[in-house]
Amino acid sequence: MSESVQVSNPAPLTTLSDDEILFRDNVRQFADDKIRPLAKEMDEKAVFDHSLLDQFFQLGLMGIEIPEQYGGAGGKFFDAILAVEEFSRADASAGVIVDVQNTLVANAILRWANEDQKKRYLTKMVKDTVGAYALSEAGSGSDAFALQTKAELKGSDFVLNGRKLWITNGKEAGIFILFATVDASKGYKGITAFLIEKDFPGFTVGKKEDKLGIRASSTCELLLEDCRVPKENVLGEVGKGYKIAIETLNEGRIGIGAQMLGVARGAWEYASKYAQERTQFGKTISEFQGIQFQIAQMATEIEAARLMVYNAARMKDAGVNFVKEAAMTKLFTSQVAERVTSLAIEVYGGYGFTKDYPVEKYWRDAKIGKIYEGTSNMQLATIAKLVMGK
């Protein structure tokens, strides 16, 4: 079903400025009008509609934090989080494309790139170039720094060899922040980040994964076979890639929190609407206390998740340490999304288990929240270390 859902929104408007409310409402309207009608078809075909991508660029949503001097919107991190939430409410695949572009790739370039790199790549990212973040490998998931991709300096180029897996935006991306080790004997201190263009010699985008959820979002392997990367395309400093990876992922986890918040909201809105339409025993099921309690529990958890996401994003914009809050946000919102989407299916009953109705897709899309950009166990490890001072 692709119709717009009109349900009272529990958003605490007092937490947003007038400009933020206007921005959020405009993004929400676009998501309802343009993304939601295509969500089911994109999911079934496992292909993202490129006409939507073109519109994302035209609306400035692929360069929200990029300064105006590079053609961007010059907005805040919080603005990007609002966009990810509203897009994910309509379709989680749309949400993650905007999320990776803004909270990972653009953020990393803004923070670590030199001026020449910013001029070369940020100006492309606001115009027509999608970014991807390539860290994971077959044997390097939660143990991110066990990566095996090698980089060897030969003359004016680094020559890279290896294979990356599970790279979001892999099919659409024109620029990749890719991590490789220049000196395995130094362990994580040998890891270096590189800015790689899709047409660099020796670089190939491999197979696209056939996934349970976020199916329209491309998740691909990357193959590097004597891939030549100019040494001026090192991001930051040689051997400091581990620092870039850790600090960028801290910001990205807030983005995943926003995605999971949007997924939970979308499922809750459909379930609430359906409960007021479905009749059993001569009255709507929303009149039964059991259903009322489920809807109320879902709304309460969504509200708590929203406050955590917004708080972490505000902390990031304020320049204060947000590592613990980011980990807590990703952990909690992924749990909420999984619970809420599951309950939404139960509210629909047998209909919820079919693909003719929208909530099963929200449930499938929610599962990835506990896995990518740091599993729930990794978030718990981070939180435990920070709250216990260990």
C-alpha span between 193 and 92 (Å, rounded): 28
Tokens standing for residue 132: 């991807």
Handedness of CA 306, 309, 313, 315 (dihedral sign): positive
Reply yes or no on whether 221 is catalytic.
Answer: no
Residue 372: both structure tokens together: 């990518």
In the chain, the amino acid numbered 183 is: D
Angle between helices 77-90 and 92-99 (to 10 degrees): 160
Long-range pairs for 201-209 at CB < 8 Å and ≥24 separation? Answer: 201/226, 201/227, 201/228, 202/159, 202/160, 202/226, 202/227, 202/228, 203/227, 205/170, 205/171, 206/163, 208/46, 208/170, 208/171, 209/166
Q: Report the candidate in 263, 382, 276, 277 with the shortest Cα–Cα distance to residue 333.
A: 263
| Given 86, 301, 325, 373, the catalytic residue | 373
Question: 45-53 long-range CB contacts below 8 Å, 24 or more apart?
Answer: 45/216, 46/208, 46/210, 46/211, 46/215, 46/216, 47/216, 48/93, 48/94, 48/97, 48/172, 48/216, 48/217, 48/218, 49/216, 50/172, 52/94, 53/97, 53/130, 53/172
What residues are labeled active site? 373
